Amino acid sequence: MKPWTTYPSNQKKSDFDPSSCSVFSADGSPSVEPATGVESSSKTQGNLKSKTSTSSGCWDIDSAEKIYNLPFSDLLFEAQSVHRANFSPNTVQISTLISIKTGSCPENCSYCPQSAHYETGLKKEPLMEIQEVVEAAKKAQAAGSTRFCMGAAWRGPRDQDLDVVCQMVSEVKKLGMETCVTLGLLKDHQADALRDAGLDYYNHNIDTSPDHYGKIITTRTFEDRIKTIENVRKSGVKVCCGGILGMGETAKDRLEMLLVLANMDEQPESVPINQLIAIPGTPLADQTSVDPFDFVRTIAVARILMPKSYVRLSAGREQMSDELQALCFMAGANSIFYGEKLLTADNPVPEKDMSLFSRLGLERLQ
């Protein structure tokens, strides 16, 4: 039996009752009736209590498509209502992500400039020194980040390298920052070691739907990714898991990716949604951008299906307009990656982000 599913684990697809989910009325039609008092998060907590009850294993593709295809304003209203029932509506978590070991990765992810399979002009760099990472974390914290993520271009870490990463995690934790690492495939004892070092989150994305996955990467399976997520979850470390839009997938693929996440025994606490950055030299260099409204719809569905997860705008923000990002925040996105670089890719400069926050009346999570 596959360790993941795109429909409820204990139900056949034909048995699914959409009225069991908060965004559907008793007749199975999408429910977008206004709730009283949505103007403030404190009032919303009581009035939208049903919006917080969507649990793992509640979703199938038919219900997800019904939500996705709602009239745009209805979809955003529903997503914003769910968001307000679970989070402060105008607060955004600021995260910083750095590459602690760059390039020469043996995997063939079609989107990635760090793969050794492609000529992208990226300079290979060894594992950073611990103090270098600490200084980068201090700089990020001074700029307003409360979360610091460290990424390494590996298939998976060797134990001797993991020992160094664990020291990095411990030192960053001393600064009072939330910590995250993304190191590739992870064994159970390695997850335990990271937990013992104080790690808060482990990022390992599923990238896309199970059906589309084989068109994007062949050097590791979808099941490999799920196994790593299971190892992380068993260790007690929180899960950060999302995907990438714009890799030639269909709208149904995007929804099925979200369903895998939403139907996990425990939904990821953090769900990064990336827009493909088409890097010259990679197989996806000529992909066209995702329609902005389709991107926002996907964010909204992620928020509705996973009401208590942070939904993070990740790679690709440098190519997004302020208006698109504003719609994403309305749709329930409540975290961004912050700083001039996101691993090896360009990212909006902090001043640009703070200007946008000011114009939208958004505040940083403290």
From residue 62, how far is each of 18, 29, 67, 75, 248 by CA, in Å?
9, 11, 9, 16, 22
- Picking from 5, 9, 85, 21, the residue whose alpha carbon sits closest to that of residue 55 is 21
Q: Is 359 a catalytic residue?
A: no
On whether the CB atoms of residues 153 and 183 are closer than 8 A, the answer is: no
From residue 345, how far is each of 71, 265, 275, 278 by CA, in Å?
34, 33, 12, 10
Rounded Cα–Cα distance for residues 132 and 137 (Å): 9
Q: Is 328 a catalytic residue?
A: no
Catalytic annotation, pick one of 112, 166, 241, 328: 112
The position carrying tokens 């307000």 is 84
Catalytic annotation, pick one of 58, 109, 166, 328: 109
Catalytic annotation, pick one of 166, 312, 317, 328: 312
Catalytic annotation, pick one of 21, 58, 180, 241: 180
Strand pairing report for 91-101 and 147-152: parallel
Catalytic annotation, pick one of 21, 58, 149, 166: 149
Q: Is 58 a catalytic residue?
A: no
Rounded Cα–Cα distance for residues 359 and 352 (Å): 11
Catalytic annotation, pick one of 21, 105, 166, 241: 105
Rounded Cα–Cα distance for residues 310 and 272 (Å): 8
Contacts of 221 (CB under 8 A, 6+ apart): none
Phi, psi (degrees; rounded to nearest 5) at 297: -60, -40
Rounded Cα–Cα distance for residues 277 and 287 (Å): 9
Amino acid letter, 354: M
Rounded Cα–Cα distance for residues 157 and 129 (Å): 16
Classified as helix, coil or strand, 112 is coil
- Picking from 352, 355, 239, 251, the residue whose alpha carbon sits closest to that of residue 306 is 239
- Residue 125's beta-bridge partner residues? 102
Nearest-Å Rg of the Cα atoms of the chain is 20
Q: Is 21 a catalytic residue?
A: no
Q: Is 112 a catalytic residue?
A: yes
Catalytic annotation, pick one of 21, 58, 166, 240: 240
Q: Which residues are catalytic?
A: 105, 109, 112, 149, 180, 240, 312
